[in-house]
Amino acid sequence: MRFLGLCVVLAACGPDGPAHRPPAELNGCSSSSLSPATTITSLTERVNQLPPSEPSCLLASLPRPIQLVASSSITSAQPATSPQSPRLFLIGAEVAISFVPDGDGAHLVEFGQWTSPTRTLKGELELPRAEAFALDAAFTRTRFSPSVSSCGLCHREEEADAATGGSTSIAFRPLPQTLVPLTTLAREHEKCTRAEDRSTRCVMFHALFDFGEVRSGAFDTDVALFGE
């Protein structure tokens, strides 16, 4: 396994119970008619089915329950800005997806498709999209050459993946001292709701919590710690 479920489970109806409604920016982002998405290519296809919008729309569209790991690390292409605005890893059995609520990486969605218990095929999209993405867009965006990607600057043992045109490399999990509890994020969501805050940051928290169950998760311990 690549992730482990933990015991913290939060429902998604918000601090005011069933009366709470997602912000209008997320209308049309969650639909049972969307195609299944278990690879980076199928996730790119899903993005093309969604309204052209911020990464929060893709987050709102993802099936629940979500297994979440949050990190305050500032060392990545998607740096956290604080423990209250951490990097969000959604850990799936097939693909890990990461977002940040604000800051330099807030317009990016990063993907890691598991090819072994410790390696991932990596890709990245920048949103909102101006037009439909080519299905290999997440791979071409990170490509420096046929055998080198921007992901390889941090992730070791990079190898070209002939089937997709992307690259695989060692996966990392966040350092324990950077982990942010799910309860911290739930409090931030509550603050956003009570303040009726419609900032990009708060819309991201609504996309996370307003569409179903969110569970505290963890990467499998076989995955290398960042910097190892």
Asked if residue 53 belongs to a domain, the reply is yes
Phi-psi region of 85 (alpha: psi -120 to 50; beta: other; left: phi over 0): beta
CB burial of residue 36 (10 Å; 0-12, 13-18, 19+): exposed
Asked if residue 200 belongs to a domain, the reply is yes
Query: How far apart (Å, rounded) are the C-alpha atoms in residues 207 and 137?
Result: 24
Query: How far apart (Å, rounded) are the C-alpha atoms in residues 118 and 108?
Result: 23
Retrieve residue 23's tokens: 């912000």
For the chain, 228 residues long, the average pLDDT of each consecutive 10-residue run is 43 49 89 82 95 95 95 89 96 95 94 95 94 95 69 68 87 94 97 94 97 95 86
Q: Which pLDDT belongs to residue 155? A: 63
Asked if residue 228 belongs to a domain, the reply is no
Asked if residue 185 belongs to a domain, the reply is yes
Q: Which pLDDT belongs to residue 146? A: 62
Domain span including residue 134: 3-217
Asked if residue 172 belongs to a domain, the reply is yes
Specify whether the CB–CB gap between 120 and 114 falls below 8 A.
yes
Q: How many domains does the chain have?
A: 1
Asked if residue 222 belongs to a domain, the reply is no
Asked if residue 21 belongs to a domain, the reply is yes
Q: Which pLDDT belongs to residue 17? A: 47
Asked if residue 227 belongs to a domain, the reply is no
